A and B are shown apart, each in its own frame.
Chain A
Amino acid sequence: MADTAIITAPKPKYDDNSLIEEFGYDDHFHDHHHGDKYQSSFIFHYIFSMDHKMIARQFLITGMFWAVIGGLMSLIFRLQLGFPEESMAWIKPILGGWITVNEAGIGTLAPEFYYALVTMHGTIIVFFVLTAGLSGTFSNLLIPLQLGARDMASPFLNMLSYWFFFSAGVVMFLSLFLSTGPFSGGWTAYPPLSALPQASTGSGAGMTMWSFSMVLFVVSVLLGGINYITTVLNMRTKGMSLWRMPLTIWAFFVTAIIGLLSFPVLVSGILLLVLDRELGTSFYLSEIFVGGQALDHVGGSPILYQHLFWFLGHPEVYIIILPAMGIVSEVLSVHARKPIFGYKAMVYSILAIAFLSFIVWAHHMFMSGVNPFISNFFVIFTLIIAVPSAVKVFNWIATLFGGNIRFTTACLFGIGFVSMFISGGLTGIFLGNSAIDVQLHDTYFVVAHFHIVMGIAAFFGMYAGVYHWFPKMYGRFMNETLGRIHFWGTLIGAYAIFWPMHYIGMAGVPRRYYSFDSFQAFNHFDTINKFITVAAIVVFTLQVLMLINFFYSIWNGKKMTTQNPWKASTLEWTTPIETGHGNWPGKLPTVTRWPYDYGKGGQDFISQIAPVEDWEKEFDEAH
């Protein structure tokens, strides 16, 4: 190490703009696209926009809308769980018929609607917020910007992708207002609850709209995914080899591949389900007696649906978490002023996780009567996922170690992500064992596990991204003080919600129950349930604070005065503050190095477009 310290960098000769001017390459973009028509009018600029940066913001704000709806739903069912005796008459103005008020004025939540709330909370948060809102937002924003592309491969498909997502949202939103209520058979939509319209109140029109909405959503994911993959492989600027891509791009790229291979399977599953419902086929329905009457169906297998669903369902959790991992890798490296530790190991672990995600789906079905020998296979591969996950955690911590960390809100959320991912990942090792799963299956232990590891953790990754790239999106900064209150409150609050759930889960308290009145064994957990509910209300309030911060900062936040406020080396910060259509006003930047040259030779950072100097060759040899 002694001789490496001698090699220090001379003062850089260029700023970013002159670098692009001198070394960039001219694709004559602005000769061909002079005065794009979709930039000019309000409708084509803000609504049917084909600019990836605008589409990213559309995804983000739509995702936020759904996060509020999904969050409010969880508060209502948490109130029911924490304070089952309290009157809910006060929300009757909103929920209407779902609250029955008795003569004494005590309002009770209808049990059917409790199930609808749980179902919709899951569907909305998993698909609309953490899939579309997270990977939709940041893939759109960052893939062209960080790769040095003018836009996505097909801006038109990109626009369609958003509008399919929007339509899926409209259908799902309308289903909330059905007199029979939205679908209420759980976000996994297992038959027979989903296949028999007469099975429950939500199984009729609610389920029809659920499946229609999901198909629209899948179309959105596929159109987006085709675009992301094509852009990454075909539209990189000069010098941007695959091994020079930021980890964010690697994560979005692999996420898109997973989505593209797993979502069509969900469509197949839903299609067969719809045929069972509408045309009397028997894919999932066997000889069932309803009210003493045998149904016409013969020879169906509900387990078949579970296979098809979880073949998407498990990759789906990696579709949610991989973008968050990519964002966190980038944010931690920038704010710790250190190169990411083990760049290639990070990429290989993303690939390994992606591969393994396809061969572990049946660990959701250990209790469905699958062959125990088959279970062993799934146990082994599930536990092997701990290896690439641990590699990533180690690398994040090693990136932070000895760094000159700037504790900005974005960085704090990055660190919070690592904390959440570790605590949630450890409980995954319990659940991945089929023997332990016998006890823990469908208890609050599972609820705690997945909320921490893919709910809260993914939200933290999303927040890290929002705080970090907010200046790029809106040219202003979010308020840091509010941001820190948001972070610390959410970190402590989220643990306060989900840690106790591990305990009640191990005690056997089952999830999805409306009330525990008739279970003497679970009665003494009511204080814990009250505590969880209060913590949930506090955490939700803090998210409202974040939303206020977000929307206030769009118009009134501190203005961005330099192009590269975080002093990051990636390409998105070489674009002008007001990034117009086409991203770079003149030539495209030429990339000369990997994206993590922080602290090299005593230099704070070296932009990806800075030419390789002579001292660096010596430096690289010395290392």
Chain B
Amino acid sequence: MHPQKFALLVGCASMMMMFVAFTSALIVRQAQGNWLEFQMPSVFYISTAVIVTSSITLHLAYTAFLRGSELGYKGLLIVTAILGVVFVYLQYNGWLQMNADGIFLDGNPSGSFVYVITAAHAGHLIAGIATVIMALIHAFVLPYKVTPRRKNRFQLVLWFWHFVDFLWVYLLILFLMAY
């Protein structure tokens, strides 16, 4: 494995620990009682569909890149970037929905946890969008050519995107179990 990919995996393990800390804090805090139960905003389900789709489109962009389909490669990268932005927008709508339901950041910790964890995840996703934009710049500025170096760069973006996607699915399942 390329050392950069290995380093990315190690970094993902570290990021995962941060979210493990948040979620175990949530579980420990919940067990102590005085915990407000509420419904997850329905927007979160749409955003989940969006992020999972974006993972698939990015993967297809990668296979298109390998196959030599330049159009598919560039087009699907653009689609992925748009889906990423849409996801962040939907998360923001989720917050608005929670706010409308009377769940505030500075209210009962059960609500605060959802705000903080989704915000921290969105932060990682925005970093992911930045890497997709990097991939877009590579796609449109550099002449199309499959080299080991470009394959490796693309894989780095792909793996990180899958990681952030998986992270959201994990978080949503946890929210559904805890609330």
Contact = CB atoms under 8 A, between A and B. Distances in A.
Interface of A: 153-154, 157, 222, 225-227, 229-231, 233-235, 260-265, 267-269, 271-272, 275, 279-283, 296, 298-301, 304, 307-308, 311
Contacts of A262: 17
A167 B6 CA distance: 27
B21 A269 contact: yes
Given A227-B7, A230-B6, A264 B18 contact: yes
Interface in B34-58: 34-35
Contacts of B20: 265
Contact of B106 (A222, A230, A280): A280
B152 interface: no
B105 interface: yes
Interface of B: 1, 3-4, 6-7, 10-11, 13-15, 17-22, 25, 28-29, 32, 34-35, 105-109, 112-113, 116, 120
A229 B9 CA distance: 11
Nearest to A285: B109
Nearest to A260: B14
Contact of A304 (B3, B17, B28, B120): B28
A80 B118 CA distance: 48
B25 A153 contact: no
12 contacts: A153-B3, A153-B4, A225-B10, A226-B10, A234-B3, A260-B17, A267-B18, A267-B21, A282-B109, A283-B29, A299-B108, A304-B29
A260 B13 CA distance: 8
A157 B120 CA distance: 23
Contacts of B25: 268-269, 272, 283, 304, 307-308
Contacts of B18: 264-265, 267-268
B22 A268 contact: yes
B6 A281 contact: no
Main secondary structure of the interface of B (DSSP, over half): helix
B113 to A, nearest CB: 8
Given A153-B3, A226-B7, A283-B112, A264 B14 contact: yes
> What 8 A-B pairs are tightest by C-beta distance, nearest first?
A264-B18, A280-B106, A268-B21, A265-B21, A264-B17, A234-B3, A230-B7, A281-B112
A311 B107 CA distance: 26
B14 A235 contact: no
Contacts of B14: 222, 225-226, 260-261, 263-264
Contacts of A234: 1, 3, 6
Nearest to B7: A230
B32 A301 contact: yes
Nearest to A299: B34
Nearest to B16: A264
Nearest to B18: A264
A364 to B, nearest CB: 16
A265 B10 CA distance: 15
A234 B11 CA distance: 15
Contacts of B105: 275, 279-281
Which residue, of B1, B6, B32, B112, has the highest number of chain A Cβ atoms within 10 A?
B112
A30 B57 CA distance: 42
A4 B154 CA distance: 58
A229 B17 contact: no
A318 to B, nearest CB: 16
Contacts of A260: 10, 13-14, 17
Contacts of B34: 298-299
Contacts of B108: 282, 298-299
Contacts of A265: 17-18, 20-21
Contacts of B113: 283
A192 to B, nearest CB: 15
B21 A281 contact: no
Nearest to B33: A299
Contact of B21 (A222, A235, A275, A308): A308
